[in-house]
Structure 1
């Protein structure tokens, strides 16, 4: 999956403009709540067939942490 597609998927999840999703943007500046965490779990499963663990979710601090896990 290319970087633009990753950003597009995350922008849709966080309901923000893709331009806002710079790699070092802290997730605390986005809507990083339990609903988005569940959405991210579903996104990883449906788009990449990857199962995210709770520990992995909690380790995400910036946008780039999520992008790095997306294959």
Structure 2
């Protein structure tokens, strides 16, 4: 893991297309802005994990259940 120190209004670049900027620091919260191409999905980690779980559940539906829908 790369660990960087940044101040408000400073940014880091990821490749040629992604920029992560520190917008503000208020107490124990940091607001960040992410600029990336529209084809790159950006999610909070808990949302991403929820999407993965839902996809896994949908993929595990048996053929028997699908045949019942006919």
Q: Which has the higher strand share?
A: 2
Place the TM-score, normalised by the shorter chain, in its bin.
under 0.3
Instruction: Please report the TM-score for the alignment, with normalisation by the length of structure 2.
Output: 0.26
Give the number of the structure with larger relative contact order, counting CA–CA contacts within 8 Å between residues 6 or more apart.
Answer: 1
Instruction: Please report the TM-score for the alignment, with normalisation by the length of structure 1.
Output: 0.25
